[in-house]
């Protein structure tokens, strides 16, 4: 799988991937995440203009999308029912992971890429997103507590802090 920064020419394909991801969510019983048009074309364009949007390609087509955003994330400033593994070091947040259902290994490819760029990653997901929780915990993240989106909606928050690789 090839991961690269997304560009505006990718938006139509990205939106199709995100719609497919919503279908996966609904089929697995996650009916309450990514509703009311979220993530919108405007959100994706904002990710791209900030240099945060990334696509995963396989066999010449876009099969996944994610945003890789440097700290601080304002919704991560307060955590309930736990604490971050480390709250002093800079980190990156991974948001809006979505993929097509027929391609497997996407989450691992994304995380491997992210950890090649930063050893301190935070991620969150909706309580009903069992598939994403399974992927997050399976990769080795630690559950840290609950964060709240700007809308007030709760999300389960996770962090993985890998040791720095010295050359």
- Write out the two tokens for 22: 């919503």
Residue 166 lies in a domain: no
Number of domains comprising the chain: 1
pLDDT, tens only, 13-28: 999 999 999 999 999 9
The CATH number covering residue 106 comes to 3.40.630.30
Residue 133 lies in a domain: yes
- Write out the two tokens for 103: 């391609």
CB-based contacts of 30, cutoff 8 Å, min separation 6: 126, 128, 129, 130, 131
Residue 150 lies in a domain: yes
Q: In the prediction, which pLDDT does 167 show?
A: 54
* Angle, vertex CA 5, rays to CA 84 and CA 22, nearest 5: 70
Residue 167 lies in a domain: no
Residue 32 lies in a domain: yes
Instruction: Residue 125: give the domain boundaries.
Output: 2-161
Q: In the prediction, which pLDDT does 131 show?
A: 94
Q: How far is the C-alpha of 13 from the C-alpha of 41, rounded, in Å?
A: 11
């Amino acid at each position: 799988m090839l991961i690269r920064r997304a560009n505006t020419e990718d938006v139509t394909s990205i939106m199709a991937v995100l719609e497919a991801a919503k279908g996966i969510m609904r089929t697995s019983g996650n009916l309450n995440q990514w509703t009311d048009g979220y993530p919108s074309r405007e959100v994706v364009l904002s990710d791209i203009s900030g240099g945060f949007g990334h696509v995963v390609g396989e066999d010449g087509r876009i099969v996944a999308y994610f945003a890789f955003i440097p700290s601080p994330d304002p919704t991560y400033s307060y955590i309930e029912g736990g604490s971050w593994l480390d709250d002093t070091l800079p980190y990156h947040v991974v948001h809006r992971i979505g993929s097509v259902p027929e391609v497997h290994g996407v989450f691992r490819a994304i995380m491997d890429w992210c950890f090649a760029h930063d050893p301190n990653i935070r991620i969150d997901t909706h309580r009903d997103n069992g598939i994403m929780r399974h992927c997050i915990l399976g990769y080795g993240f630690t559950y840290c507590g609950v964060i709240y989106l700007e809308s007030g909606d709760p999300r389960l928050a996770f962090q993985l802090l890998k040791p720095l690789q010295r050359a």
